[in-house]
A and B are shown apart, each in its own frame.
Chain A
Amino acid sequence: METDRGDRHFDTIIIGCGMAGLAAGIRLAMYDRKVLILEKHSIPGGLNSFYSIAGRKFDVGLHAVTNVVPPGHKGTPLPSLLRQLRIPRDAFDLNPQRSSRIAFPGADLRFTNSFGLLEEEVDRQFPGQIEAFRRFRKRILEASPGEGTGVSSRGILAESLPDPLLREMLLCPIMYYGASTAHDIDFSLFVTLWKSVFEEGFGRPLAGIRTIIRALLDRYREVGGTRRMKCGVRRILVDEGIACGVELEDGEELTADRIISTAGEPETRILCGAGEEDPAVQENIGRLAFAETISILSRQPEELGIKDTIVFFNDSPLFHYEQAASDIDLRSGVICCPNNYAYPEGTSLDEGILRVTTIASYENWTAYSQPDYEEAKERWFSRMVESALNFLPGVDPELIRSSTVFRDMFTPRTVRKYTGRLGGAIYGAGRKSPDGTTGVENLFLAGTDQGLLGIVGAMFSGVTIANRHVLMAGRK
Chain B
Amino acid sequence: MTKEECKQVVLDIIAEIAPDEDLSNISPDVRLRDQLDLDSMDFLDIVMELRKQYGIEVPEEDYPQLASLDSCAEYLTPKFKEVSA
Contacts and interface: CB of A to CB of B under 8 A. Distances in A.
Interface stretch (A80-88, A129-137, A286-294, A346-354): A80-88
A472 interface: yes
Interface stretch (B5-13, B40-48, B65-73): B40-48
A75 B20 CA distance: 12
A467 interface: yes
A80 B41 contact: yes
B41 A463 contact: yes
A83 B17 contact: yes
Contacts of B39: 75, 80
A325 interface: no
B42 A83 contact: yes
Interface residues of A, number: 15
> How many B residues touch the partner, as a band?
10 to 19
Interface string A13-52: 0000000000000000011100000000000000000000
Interface in B17-47: 17-18, 20, 37, 39, 41-42, 44-45
A280 interface: no
Interface string B45-68: 100100110000000100000000
Contacts of B45: 83-84
Contact of B48 (A74, A79, A471): A471
Contacts of A31: 48, 51-52
A84 B44 CA distance: 10
A127 interface: no
A32 B52 contact: yes
B44 A472 contact: yes
B48 A72 contact: no
A32 B53 CA distance: 11
B43 to A, nearest CB: 11
A279 to B, nearest CB: 38
B52 A472 contact: no
Contacts of A32: 52
B18 A83 contact: yes
A463 B40 CA distance: 13
A474 to B, nearest CB: 8
A83 B18 CA distance: 6
Instruction: Classify the secondary structure of B's interface with A.
Output: helix
Interface string A147-186: 0000000000000000000000000000000000000000
A471 B43 CA distance: 13
B60 A472 contact: yes
A337 B2 CA distance: 59
Nearest to A464: B41
A72 B41 contact: no
A471 B42 contact: no
B53 to A, nearest CB: 11
Nearest to B63: A472
Q: Name the residue among A74, A83, A86 with the largest chain B CB count within 10 angstroms.
A: A83
Interface string A59-80: 0000000000000101100011
Nearest to A72: B20
Nearest to B36: A74
Contacts of B17: 83, 86
A72 B19 CA distance: 11
Contacts of B48: 30-31, 471
A75 B41 contact: no
Contact of A467 (B20, B44, B51, B52): B44
A72 B22 CA distance: 12
A178 to B, nearest CB: 22
A83 B37 CA distance: 11
A75 B44 contact: no
A86 B52 CA distance: 16
Nearest to B48: A31
Contacts of B52: 31-32
Contacts of A30: 48
A74 B35 CA distance: 13
Contacts of A84: 41, 45
A32 B45 CA distance: 13
* The 9 A-B residue pairs with the shortest CB-CB distance in the complex, in nearest-first order: A74-B37, A31-B48, A84-B41, A75-B37, A467-B44, A80-B39, A31-B52, A80-B41, A83-B18
Interface of A: 30-32, 72, 74-75, 79-80, 83-84, 86, 463, 467, 471-472
22 contacts: A30-B48, A31-B48, A31-B51, A31-B52, A32-B52, A72-B20, A75-B37, A75-B39, A79-B20, A80-B39, A80-B41, A83-B17, A83-B18, A83-B41, A84-B41, A86-B17, A463-B41, A467-B41, A471-B44, A471-B48, A472-B44, A472-B60
Given A74-B37, A83-B18, A467-B41, 20 more contacts: A30-B48, A31-B48, A31-B51, A31-B52, A32-B52, A74-B20, A75-B37, A75-B39, A79-B20, A80-B39, A80-B41, A80-B42, A83-B17, A83-B42, A84-B45, A86-B17, A463-B41, A467-B44, A472-B44, A472-B60
